[in-house]
């Protein structure tokens, strides 16, 4: 039953984008409110959907690699201590799970004949080398999960059918121009947990991509990268070393719904910086070094969630969150976190939160010097 469960879980996950990964198969669980419906979140053509299993001929093959579990075109070979990709994989396989093994290399013919493969899971191996033609047979591959390996570069010649790439927790320091060339269907990249600095992104590295979702968390960024895809709906740069947001840092990201900048070292957000984000609905600035509420929040008419906890904010003004006048804000707040700030909350005027749906949505207190 487990392989069948894996396939069902994967197919369900293909329609949504993640916010914060907690475990491998639950990476689409959202610890905030859902900001986009499935149609908005997918942002791709029909190639981004699940494979049409009915279009494939029924399989009666008894082929299954030794020690693996095979059921309904799902081949599960995880946690077997494998050193290489196993042979004798049925050509009609759509999901191949090789996570938690000791594979060190992907060779030229490792995936030969797997033209129907939809998802390839290689998480938590020891892969440091990938042949430039290793993925060539995978003409229908849409999901590649190769996180927690020893890669020092993004694999070359990724399949043009790819929709989702998860390559976090490797050793990648550079994203060269052209590495994503031809990936017109790609809408989600998770590349956090790599020692990437701002200088590691070559100009034009993301040219041609129409991403909806990008996470570069737990890296070594000191500022917001300037050359990311302007199509982004979600950008997560938490757990970096960003110190400030300057006026034009967010200029090209006007389609953002959700921006994650928590756990950085941000002391200053220049006035007017947030005005470039007219569709923003969720903003994470928790665990930084801000001394005041960022200017411009009242002008974000769709903003609903603001995380500002664990900063150095000492005062909250009556117009810091809500615009002056009624009917100006199109969506009321349903979450404002200000706890663990040195704010004398008993001095905050009640009218400060006049555009909040429920007083329970406001979190104060618990400040410790």
Q: Is residue 197 part of a domain?
A: no
Question: Mean pLDDT, to the nearest integer, of 14-35?
Answer: 36
Distance of CA 146 to the CA centre of its chain: 14
**CA atoms of 284 and 310, how far apart (whole Å):** 11
Which pLDDT tens digit goes with each residue over 175-214? Answer: 999 899 999 999 999 999 999 999 999 999 999 899 999 9
- First-to-final CA distance of the chain: 52
Determine what percent of the chain falls in helix, strand and coil, rounding each to the nearest 5: 10, 15, 75
* β-strand pairing of 129-130 with 119-121: unpaired
Per the domain annotation, does 95 fall within a domain?
Answer: yes
> pTM for the complete prediction?
0.83
* Residue 110, domain member (yes or no): yes
- Cα angle, residue 78 at apex, residues 73 and 82 outer, rounded to 5°: 115
**Nearest alpha-carbon partner for 31 in 284, 300, 309:** 284
Contact present, 39 and 32 (Cβ < 8 Å): no
For 300-323, give one letter per residue: b (16+ CB within 10 A) or e.
beebbbbbbbbbebeebeeebbbb
Q: What is the reported pLDDT for 43? A: 38
Mean pLDDT of 341-350: 91
What is the average pLDDT across 4-27? 42
Residue 15 has pLDDT above 90, yes or no: no
Contact between 194 and 171 under an 8 Å Cβ cutoff? The reply is: yes
Q: Residue 127 falls within a domain, yes or no?
A: yes
| 315-334 pLDDT per residue, tens | 999 999 999 877 678 789 99
| pLDDT band at 61; cut points 50, 70, 90 | low
Do residues 237 and 221 make contact, with C-beta atoms less than 8 angstroms apart?
yes
In a domain, 156, yes or no: yes
For residue 84, give both structure tokens: 């290489």
Q: How far does Cα 150 stand from its chain's mean position?
A: 20
So what's the pLDDT on residue 151?
98
Q: Which residues pair with 144 in a beta bridge?
A: 120, 165
CA max distance for the chain: 73
Spatial CA neighbour of 75 closest among 84, 106, 62: 62
**Phi, psi for 299 (deg, rounded to 5):** -85, -10
The predicted structure's pLDDT at residue 28: 30
Token digits for 139? 């003409």
User: Beta strand 74-76 with 69-71: parallel, antiparallel or unpaired?
Assistant: antiparallel
When pLDDT is cut at 50, 70 and 90, the band that residue 33 belongs to is very low
In a domain, 202, yes or no: no
Number of domains in the chain: 1
DSSP 2-22: HHHHHHHHHHHHTTS--S--S
Name which of 36-50, 88-102, 262-276 the model is least confident about: 36-50
Q: Determine the Cα–Cα distance for residues 278 and 95; give it in Å rounded to an integer.
A: 40
Q: What is the pLDDT of residue 89?
A: 94
Q: Which domain holds residue 87?
A: 63-165
Is 242 domain-assigned?
no
Backbone angles phi, psi at 133, to 5 degrees: -110, 15
- With respect to residue 108, please indicate whether it lies within any of the assigned structural domains: yes
CATH number reported for the structural domain that contains residue 112 in this entry: 3.80.10.10
């Amino acid at each position: 039953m487990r392989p069948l469960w894996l396939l069902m879980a994967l197919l369900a996950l293909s329609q949504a984008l993640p916010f914060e990964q907690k475990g491998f198969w639950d990476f689409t669980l959202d610890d905030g409110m859902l900001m986009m419906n499935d149609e908005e979140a997918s942002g791709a053509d029909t190639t981004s959907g699940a494979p049409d299993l009915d279009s494939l001929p029924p399989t009666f093959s008894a082929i299954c690699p030794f020690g693996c579990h095979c059921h309904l075109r799902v081949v599960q070979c995880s946690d077997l201590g494998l050193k290489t990709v196993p042979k004798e994989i049925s050509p009609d396989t759509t999901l191949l799970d090789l996570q938690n093994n000791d594979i060190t290399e992907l060779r030229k013919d490792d995936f030969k004949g797997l033209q129907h493969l939809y998802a390839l899971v290689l998480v938590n191996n020891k892969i440091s080398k990938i042949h430039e033609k290793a993925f060539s047979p995978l003409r229908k591959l849409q999901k590649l999960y190769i996180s927690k390996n020893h890669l020092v570069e993004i694999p070359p010649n990724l399949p043009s059918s790819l929709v989702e790439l998860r390559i976090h927790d490797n050793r990648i320091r550079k994203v060269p121009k052209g590495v994503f060339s031809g990936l017109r269907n790609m809408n989600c990249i998770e590349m956090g947990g790599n020692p990437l600095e701002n200088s590691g992104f070559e100009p034009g590295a993301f040219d041609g991509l129409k991403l909806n979702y990008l996470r570069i968390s737990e890296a070594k960024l000191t500022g917001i990268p300037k050359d990311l895809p302007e199509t982004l709906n979600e950008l997560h740069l938490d757990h970096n070393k960003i110190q400030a947001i300057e006026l034009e840092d967010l200029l090209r990201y006007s389609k953002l719904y959700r921006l994650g900048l928590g756990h950085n070292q941000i002391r200053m957000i220049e006035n007017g910086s947030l005005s470039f984000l007219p569709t923003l609905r969720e903003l994470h600035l928790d665990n930084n070094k801000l001394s005041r509420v960022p200017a411009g929040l009242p002008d974000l008419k769709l903003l609903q969630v603001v995380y500002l906890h664990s900063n150095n904010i000492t005062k909250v003004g009556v117009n810091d969150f809500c615009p002056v006048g009624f009917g100006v804000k199109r969506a009321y707040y349903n979450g404002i976190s200000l706890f663990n700030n040195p704010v004398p909350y008993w001095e905050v005027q009640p009218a400060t939160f006049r555009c909040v749906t429920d007083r329970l949505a406001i979190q104060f207190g618990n400040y410790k010097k």
